[in-house]
Amino acid sequence: MNNLKYVSLLKDEMSLKNYSKNSIKSYCGCISVFFNFFVKKDMPEHISVEEIKKYLLTISPSYRKQMIGSLSIFYKLIGQPKKFDHIEYPRKENHFPIILSKDEIKKILKNTVNLKHKIILSTIYFHGLRISELINLKITDIDFSRNLLIIQQSKGNKDRVVPINKDWIIVVNRYISIYKPIEFLINGQLSPQYSATSIRNILNNSCKISGINKSIKIHSLRHSYATHLLEQGVSLRYIQNLLGHENSRTTERYTHVSNIHLQNIQIQL
């Protein structure tokens, strides 16, 4: 099977439909993995629904959802949309987001000694960014005159603006004067952009030094940002806009983990 031909076909189709670069990269990666699994098949049209279902059982539910979305687009493209009529997305697991307290955030940032590493973690937390948004953030996206970050072409191919944190401005100005980034705010050592793996390693190391044993991921900083805003009295509607959530229900889950709401629920004897 000529994988490159089919990956290129999907890439062109998604580009014509104005999907974001991250979505195109993710979906093309999925079908490439899929076709490598069925490397002995000469054409994707010859892969049966039963074979697709058996393959989907070999991957995690979270990856399965992404794979189904990728293959659904692809098989529509090659004229076999009915192949996915009876393949459903996995049921969403109802896990609450892991939240860091403000004291834990302070510990993490204090114990992140390297200035570039500190900027990476503080930029994500103070502005509620996704890891891809931090990686793609350019110097020109920082509007110092209006104290705004311009998040361009994020999830869903949408732009949004986020107010710059005042404490962050002091640190980022020092960082820019020392590191002198040219295009992207965070440059890699051998590439224009920093890698997601390196960012995750920075957070893991800082959590370990800080004695934080929670199952923390980079997205936990974004979750913490939203929860802390809610606890400060910021409206859900405003938080939804800051995070770039299309559906308000996604933002509403922070009410379940907000400390201010839980503290008000007490048994009186």
Provide the annotated active-site residues.
130, 155, 219, 222, 245, 254
Other CB atoms within a 10 A radius of the CB of residue 184 amount to 19
CA 115, 119, 122, 124 torsion-angle sign = negative
Q: ∠71-75-77 over CA atoms, to 5°?
A: 115
Cα–Cα distance, 167 to 136 (Å, whole number) = 22
Estimate the crossing angle of helix 196-209 against helix 218-231, to 10 degrees: 70
**Under 8 Å between Cβ of 223 and 217:** no
- Angstrom distances, CA of residue 232 to CA of 165, 182, 227, 258: 15, 36, 9, 10
The DSSP symbol for 150 reads: E
Sheet with 148-151, strands from edge to edge, namely: 142-143, 148-151, 160-163
Task: Calculate the dihedral angle through the C-alpha atoms of 18, 21, 25, 26, rounding to the nearest 10 degrees.
Answer: -80
Backbone angles phi, psi at 211, to 5 degrees: 70, 25
